DNA sequence: CTATCCCTTCGAGTGCACTTTAAGTCAAAT
DNA sequence: ATTTGACTTAAAGTGCACTCGAAGGGATAG
C-alpha cells in the first residue's frame, strides 16, 4: 500500500498554508513536491514532515533568507553540518531571548491587570499609582 | 530641584527609539510631551515610564491600533477600566500562547542540534533519520 | 559664529512575507 | 456535463510599523 498523496488543495488544508504560499515556498526552493504526468503537484508524508519542520524553524523567527540558506546547505550534504549547527544555535539563542523578553513583558501586563483589579475592588488605594504599586515587587 | 527634562534627541537615545518614531507615536496619540515656549518637545521621567510601559505592551504583540484604543480608554478615565482589563487579559493570553509556541519550536531546534551533533561525533547511526531520532522523546 | 539640533507638513519609500490578479489551458470529481 | 480545482508567468498589491526626505525656518551649545 502506497503512502497517501495530497494535491495542493488538500495539502494546503492539511498544513494550514494557502496554495499561493505553497507555490511561493516552492519558488523560493523550500519544498519540492513530486509532479504527476500532467504536471500537478503531489505531496507525500515526507513533505508534511519537512514542511512542519520548516514551520518550526520559521516560528522561532528565522527569516526566509535564513531558511533558504539552511535548505541550500542541506542540499550540499553532510559537509555543511557544522554550518547548519551554527545557524541553529543562533536561532536557539534568538528564541530563548524572545521567550525571556515575552516573559518580562507579560509580567508587567500581569501586574497591571492586578493593579486595575485592585482599583476596582478598592483593595488598592485610589491614590497609589502603578509605579508605587510595582515597587512592592522589587 | 526640578526633574530632568529631555529634548527629543536625548530622549530618543534614552528610550532607544528614533526621533522619527517618537514624533510618529505622538502623531498617533501615544505620547504627549510638553513643549517649551519655542515649541520644542520636552520629555520628563513620567514620559520615560509611560513609554516603557507602552513598549512592554507592544512587546507582547499588541498592534498600534490596540495601543491607540488603550490610550483612548485611559483618557476617558476610570469608567473604562473594565475594558482595559479585558484587553490586557487578551494580551496576556496572547503572550502566553506565543511563549508556548516558541518553547515548542525551540524544543525541535534543540533536538535537531543534538541530532546533528550526534551525527558528527558518530554516536548516532548514519542511517537513523531525524524522525526516528525524535521518536525516542515521545 | 557656526555647527548641530529642533520645528512643520505630508507624501513617498522600506522591508518582509506573503497575497492576488490576469489570462488562458487542462484535469478531475460528481 | 459541469463545476471545481490545478497549471503557468510576471507583476502588482497588501499590511504593518516605521523611516525618511524635502523645504524652509528657528534655537542652542561650544
Q: Note the pLDDT tens digit of each residue in B70-88.
A: 999 999 999 999 999 999 9
Chosen CATH of A1-59 out of 2.60.40.1220, 1.10.1660.10, 3.40.50.1970, 3.20.20.70: 1.10.1660.10
**Residue B7, phi then psi, degrees to nearest 5:** -85, 170
Query: Which pLDDT belongs to residue B82?
Result: 96
State pLDDT tens for residues A24-56.
999 999 999 999 999 999 999 999 999 999 999
pLDDT of A80 strictly over 70: yes
Residues of chain A above pLDDT 70, percent: 97
User: 3-state DSSP call for residue B6?
Assistant: strand
Q: Which residues of B touch A57 (CB under 8 A)?
A: 105, 108-109
Lookup: cell for B60 = 507582547
- Cβ B95–A117 below 8 Å, yes or no? no
Contact A106, B57 (CB under 8 A): no
At A2, list the grid cell.
502506497
Q: What integer is the mean pLDDT of A54-81? A: 97
What is the C-alpha separation between B45 and A3, in angstroms, rounded? 64
Angle separating helix axes B8-15 and B19-27, nearest 10 degrees: 100
Cα separation, A92 vs A95, whole angstroms: 5
Residue B14, CB, less than 7 Å from strand C? no
Q: Please write down the HEC assignment for all residues of chain A.
A: CCCCCECHHHHHHHHCCCHHHHHHHHHCCCCCCEECCCCCEEECHHHHHHHHHHHHHHHCCCCHHHHHHHHHHHHCCHHHHHHHHHHHHHHHHHHHHHHHHHHHHHHHHHHHHHHHHHHHCCCCCCCCCHHHHHHCCC
DSSP H or E stretch at residue B74? helix B64-75
Residue A88 to residue B131, Cβ atoms within 8 A: no
Alpha carbon of residue B98 to chain centroid: 12
Separation of alpha carbons A80 and A82, rounded Å: 5
pLDDT of residue B1: 53
The span from the first CA to the last CA of chain A, in angstroms, equals: 64
Query: Domain locations in chain A?
Result: 1-59, 61-138
Cβ contact A36 with chain C strand, < 7 A: yes
Amino acid at each position: 500500500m502506497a503512502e497517501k498523496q495530497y494535491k495542493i488543495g488538500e495539502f494546503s488544508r492539511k498544513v494550514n498554508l494557502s496554495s499561493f504560499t505553497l507555490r511561493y515556498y516552492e519558488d523560493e526552493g523550500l519544498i519540492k513536491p513530486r509532479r504527476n504526468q500532467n504536471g500537478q503537484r503531489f505531496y507525500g508524508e515526507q513533505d508534511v514532515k519537512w514542511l512542519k519542520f520548516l514551520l518550526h524553524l520559521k516560528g522561532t523567527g528565522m527569516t526566509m533568507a535564513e531558511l533558504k540558506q539552511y535548505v541550500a546547505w542541506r542540499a550540499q550534504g553532510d559537509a555543511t553540518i557544522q554550518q547548519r549547527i551554527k545557524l541553529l544555535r543562533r536561532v536557539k539563542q534568538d528564541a530563548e531571548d524572545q521567550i525571556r523578553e515575552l516573559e518580562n513583558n507579560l509580567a508587567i501586563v500581569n501586574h497591571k491587570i492586578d493593579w486595575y483589579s485592585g482599583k476596582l475592588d478598592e483593595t488598592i488605594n485610589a491614590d497609589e499609582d502603578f509605579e508605587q504599586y510595582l515597587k512592592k515587587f522589587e
